[in-house]
Structure 1
Amino acid sequence: MTTVRHILDTKGHEVHSVHLEDTVEDAIRMMAEKEIGAVLVMENQRPVGIFSERHYARDVFLKGRTSPTTPLRDVMERNLIYVAPDQTAEACMALMTDKQIRHLPVLQKGRLLGIISMGDLLKSIIADREFNIEQLVHYMQGSKM
């Protein structure tokens, strides 16, 4: 089974983040620039929250707030759900489905190692399935000879 560590080793450990004192506009600009759907919110080099497109839609736009004047600390998700690097892709998928989230920070002993998305997990699970199918096909073809 593929682990989060393997996914991060494949995709990279880069994490895009903003500071707790930044505004929603700062976060939205970074998300657009990096073509990502969420950013971690950091304070003293530790993750203290996450802000996503979903947070923007529900907690900023629909509530009539303005991006340049709304601080992230007022709209970010503070209940940060995270995983360890030895977690399996399937377990992460189940957690994300249960919690209805699309991004998971990866922490080990309080140290931020990276972030994975639902897309990263799907890509990994599909690759595992394709590999298994390919192995079965080779086995079946080999056993006919």
Structure 2
Amino acid sequence: MRIADILRTKGSEVHTVTPDTTVCELIGDFARFNVGAVVVCENETVAGIVTERDVVRALHARGPSILALPARELMSGSVTTCLPTESVDSLAETMTEQRIRHLPVVVDAQLVGIVSIGDVVKSRIDELQAERDQLASYIHGGG
């Protein structure tokens, strides 16, 4: 299975913000869109990513004053991305090795989607269920 298959199922909508968006606005986006990360875009290209974990760690380290800071102050500027043509298995490996939960999907420097670890797990469960159903059908069909 490819990343494009996940995007086809879940959709390609990505919630983005500008580097000047405040952390307080980011938190509102997390809740409003029920997402754990937002991609920071500048001039239609990925500039960074901010996750709920980034916000919590900054709150712990610096206190509530971070709520007024712009996204650029908390974003991870070095963003691992993937292509729609990559396999879900290779993406799972990347996410595990780099300990990241969200990967923007980029084609020709344009953001076309985002994949979370939850999406990867769901796709694997769906694959296993399909295999199980095929085996059950084979067994019950008499071979």
Q: Per the shorter chain, which TM-score range?
A: over 0.9
Which residues of structure 2 form unaligned runs of 5+?
none
Query: Where does 1:22-41 land on structure 2 (aligned, <5 Å)?
Result: 22-41=21-40
User: Does residue 42 of structure 1 match 2:16?
Assistant: no
> What SS does structure 2 have at the residue aligned with 1:85?
coil
- The normalised TM-score by structure 2 is 0.94
User: Does residue 58 of structure 1 match 2:81?
Assistant: no
Q: Name the structure 1 match of 2:132.
A: 133
Q: Deviations over 1:60-80 (max 9, x none)?
A: 333225243212111110110
- The normalised TM-score by structure 1 is 0.93
Query: Where does 1:71-86 land on structure 2 (aligned, <5 Å)?
Result: 71-86=70-85
Distance 1:111 1:22 in 2: 20
Q: Name the structure 2 match of 1:96.
A: 95
Contact 1:55 1:75 in 2 (8 A): yes
Q: Which amino acid aligns with 1:21?
A: D
Identical counterparts, % of pairs: 35
Distance 2:64 2:81 in 1: 28
Contact 1:103 1:118 in 2 (8 A): yes
> What SS does structure 2 have at the residue aligned with 1:48?
strand
Q: Name the structure 2 match of 1:69.
A: 68
Contact 1:18 1:26 in 2 (8 A): no
Contact 1:60 1:75 in 2 (8 A): no
CA RMSD of aligned residues (A): 1.3
Distance 2:12 2:77 in 1: 22
Distance 1:22 1:65 in 2: 16
Distance 2:58 2:101 in 1: 17
Task: Compute the displacement of 1:59 (Å).
Answer: 2.2
Q: Which amino acid aligns with 1:7?
A: I
Distance 2:59 2:48 in 1: 16
